[in-house]
Amino acid sequence: MRRKGSALPWCKDLEKNMSEIQRKFDAISKKYDAQRKKFIPCFNDFYGTTVSVASVNKENPDILDVGAGTGLLSSFMMKKYPEASFTLIDISEKMLDMAKDRFKNNSNVKYIAADYSKYDFVEKYDMVISALSIHHLEDEDKRDLYKKSYSILKENGIFINADQVHGETPFIENLNKTTWRLYVEGSGLPEEEILAGYERTRLDKDSKLDQQLDWLKETGFLDVSCIYKYYQFAVMFGRKIV
């Protein structure tokens, strides 16, 4: 029997991993945006597709950006929905500080510095969006987050996860990673920034695309689809219809 007050080993591992994520992204916060195109070969299509499918019948939707970081994805969304209300949540306060500076003239943005996998949301949203963040969670935590996202969406709300996924087979996984590394190493980034980027990938917990689409369906999402995919970069979509 577990002694009262003692933590389960997997809980300690999760807390350690989240603490490491916070530390790594605090350290990269000021360079994050400048590096994105260097680390994402399909940058324009990846973010562009995410914005293009983010469509609801409101000019001023309530949008939750999960793992918002510096607010990069939200900045693209604001061009489509300038009257929208945004809530940005991220575990890294320094990343959110960059977002606060970016949106300092927009009073329709709220910030939450917290671990979104544990945070208890009280508001409802028209959209829950995320880019390159959820892959840091273990499989069970991803599934729980999908359930949480469904529960806080309004009727006809949409969920979009633009993220990296694990290859369907070992061969495809190796192909994806090899292709990505060739792009990064030819991007012009300084070697120390490339190595730091590779180091951050040790925190990744990529899951297969078909698994995640199944989890979204099991949660209750309809019209579940992979809207876009380029090697390991994928845009997943689902709608809540009550």
> Which CATH number goes with the domain that contains 152?
3.40.50.150
**151 located within any domain:** yes
**3 located within any domain:** no
Q: Counting Cβ atoms within 10 Å, is residue 2 exposed (0-12), middle (13-18) or buried (19+)?
A: exposed
Q: What's the pLDDT at 35?
A: 82
Q: What's the pLDDT at 10?
A: 43
Percentage of the chain beyond pLDDT 70 is: 87
The residue range of the domain holding 181 is 9-239
**2 located within any domain:** no
Q: What's the pLDDT at 4?
A: 45
**181 located within any domain:** yes
Domain count, the chain: 1
Sheet holding 125-131, edge to edge: 109-113, 85-90, 62-66, 125-131, 153-164, 233-239, 222-230
**48 located within any domain:** yes
Q: How large is the average pLDDT for residues 78-87?
A: 97
Q: What's the pLDDT at 200?
A: 86
Q: What's the pLDDT at 26?
A: 57
Inform me whether the pLDDT recorded for 32 exceeds 60.
yes
The whole-chain average pLDDT of the chain stands at: 90
Q: What's the pLDDT at 30?
A: 58
Scanning the chain, the segments in alpha helix (DSSP H) are: 9-28, 32-39, 43-52, 72-80, 93-102, 139-151, 170-185, 191-200, 209-219
Inform me whether the pLDDT recorded for 172 exceeds 90.
yes
Q: How large is the average pLDDT for residues 177-186?
A: 96
Confidence of residue 203 (pLDDT cuts 50, 70, 90): confident
**123 located within any domain:** yes
The DSSP bridge partners found for residue 129 are: 65, 160
**21 located within any domain:** yes
Q: What's the pLDDT at 1?
A: 40
**4 located within any domain:** no
